[in-house]
Amino acid sequence: MHGVTIPRRVLRQPEHRAAWLRKLKNTALSNQLSMLWIGYDATTKQARMAKQHLINLSKRYPIIRLWKQLAGIGVIRAATIFAYLDTPWRFKKKNKLWKYCGIGLQRTASGTDKKGKPKPARLQLPWAANRILKNAILGAALTAINQKQNCFKADYERMVLNGVIPSNARHTVARKMLTVMWGMWKRSCQFDLSEVTLPVLIEQ
């Protein structure tokens, strides 16, 4: 409202706020920020407590600990995927798992061409998907791609080098990551790169 940018250290470290507020020379704004920071600090503390509680609860489940060894997977994403999928035996095929999580491909056709013939089917991502799971697995793939060298990043770079557009490459990496996690869950084992192949871009 006042066009003032708050430095990150002032926002996150209360000991720097008083000196910074004195420099504003705007009493009304200083009082307003002081009031808003009370709620901000309380919410920040609550978020830290909630995360620690989640970490403590996740220790009861060995698969979450195993998933956290993968690039791009932290306790929040691991717990989210675990909670929403509930069991690895929910899906008979990985294709159905991919579609449920919004990263699979499905053939769709709509309308006709100028000659009245049906238009050819197209491959596209499903609209009916679990958005929370989609955000979790795509976020994990993007984090892995941007981290230091790992198998997911290597797959992404190889696909882009071979002419695959980045968005398709990211979704393929996400499918591989989800397949890896699904296999680890079913067998209660650690990640073995030698047993994993990259999912194809086009479903058979």
Report DSSP state, residue 33. Answer: H
Residues 69, 71, 77: CA angle, nearest 5 degrees? 80
CA quadruple 15, 17, 18, 19: dihedral positive or negative? positive
Residues facing residue 118 across a β-bridge = 112
Predicted TM-score (pTM) of the model is 0.76
- Give pLDDT tens digits for 94-148: 999 999 999 987 666 566 667 767 666 566 677 778 999 999 999 999 999 999 8
- Give pLDDT tens digits for 24-62: 888 899 999 999 999 999 999 999 999 999 999 999 999
- Give pLDDT tens digits for 151-163: 999 999 999 999 9
Report DSSP state, residue 16. Answer: G
**What mean pLDDT is predicted for residues 169-192?**
91
Whether the CB-CB separation of 73 and 176 falls below 8 Å is answered with no
What's the pLDDT score for residue 203? 37
What's the pLDDT score for residue 191? 80
d(CA 89, CA 109): 31
